C-alpha cells in the first residue's frame, strides 16, 4: 500500500517533524498562503493537516483532502492522523522510510569514518549507527532523542491497537 503524504500548515511544526521521522513524506510551510497550501495539497495528493477552521472548510469543499486537528495533545493528534489514513502500526525509528526532520530529505546510513560535520566526542566514541540527510546533510545518530521518539511510537501503537479492538 502506498504511504500517505502530508502537507502541514504553519501551526503544526512539531507534528510535521514527527511524521517525517516516522517515515512519511511531509511538506511543512511556515508562512504559506491558504491558496498555496490548497494547491499543493490538490496537485501532489497530499493530505492537508491544519488547525485552521477556515482553511479546513475551504479544502473540505474542494478536494476533501484535509484534516482538522482539534486537540492540543501531540500524541492524540498523531493517532487521529494515522487512524484517518487507516494506519495500524508505526515502525520504530530510524526505519527504512525515516526522513530528515529539518528538510524532509531521505536519510542514508553513514559510516562514522566518513563523518565530515563535527559532532560531540562522546557521541563519536559511543554511537555506532549514524545517518545523514541526502539533501541538507544533517547528521543523525541513535541517542536519547531517538529513544524518546520510539517511546512515543510505542504509545501511539498501543492507542491505535486499542481503537481496533
Chain contacts with Zn ion (rule: CB under 5 A): 100, 102-103, 105, 133, 135-136, 138
Q: Which is nearer to Zn ion, 17 or 51 (by Cβ)? A: 17
Q: Which is nearer to Zn ion, 49 or 133 (by Cβ)? A: 133
Least spacing, CB of residue 102 vs Zn ion, in Å: 5
Least spacing, CB of residue 93 vs Zn ion, in Å: 15
Q: Which is nearer to Zn ion, 15 or 100 (by Cβ)? A: 100
Please report, for residues 28, 31, 115, 127, the alpha-carbon distance to residue 160 in angstroms, rounded to integers and kept in the order given. 25, 32, 38, 32
Cell numbers placing 110: 553513514
Q: Which is nearer to Zn ion, 120 or 137 (by Cβ)? A: 137
Least spacing, CB of residue 120 vs Zn ion, in Å: 20
Question: What is the b/e burial string over 46-80, where b = at least 16 CB atoms within 10 angstroms of the residue's CB?
Answer: bbbbbbbeebbebbeeeeeebbbbeeeeeeebbbb
Least spacing, CB of residue 158 vs Zn ion, in Å: 30
| Count of beta carbons in the 10 Å neighbourhood of residue 151 | 11
Amino acid at each position: 500500500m502506498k504511504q500517505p503524504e502530508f502537507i502541514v500548515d504553519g501551526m503544526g511544526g512539531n507534528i510535521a517533524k514527527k511524521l517525517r521521522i516516522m517515515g512519511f513524506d511531509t511538506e511543512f510551510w511556515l508562512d504559506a498562503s491558504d491558496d498555496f497550501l490548497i494547491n499543493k495539497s490538490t496537485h501532489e495528493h497530499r493530505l492537508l493537516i491544519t488547525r485552521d477552521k477556515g482553511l479546513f472548510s475551504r479544502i473540505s469543499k474542494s478536494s476533501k483532502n484535509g484534516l482538522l486537528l482539534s486537540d492540543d495533545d501531540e500524541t492524540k493528534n498523531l493517532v487521529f492522523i494515522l487512524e484517518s489514513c487507516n494506519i495500524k502500526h508505526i515502525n520504530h525509528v530510524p526505519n527504512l522510510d525515516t526522513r530528515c526532520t529539518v528538510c524532509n530529505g531521505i536519510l542514508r546510513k553513514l559510516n562514522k569514518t566518513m563523518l565530515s560535520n563535527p559532532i560531540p566526542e562522546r557521541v563519536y566514541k559511543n554511537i555506532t549507527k549514524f545517518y545523514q540527510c541526502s539533501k541538507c546533510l544533517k547528521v543523525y545518530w541513535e541517542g536519547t532523542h531517538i529513544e524518546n521518539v520510539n517511546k512515543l511510537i510505542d504509545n501511539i501503537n498501543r492507542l491505535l491497537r486499542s481503537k481496533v479492538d
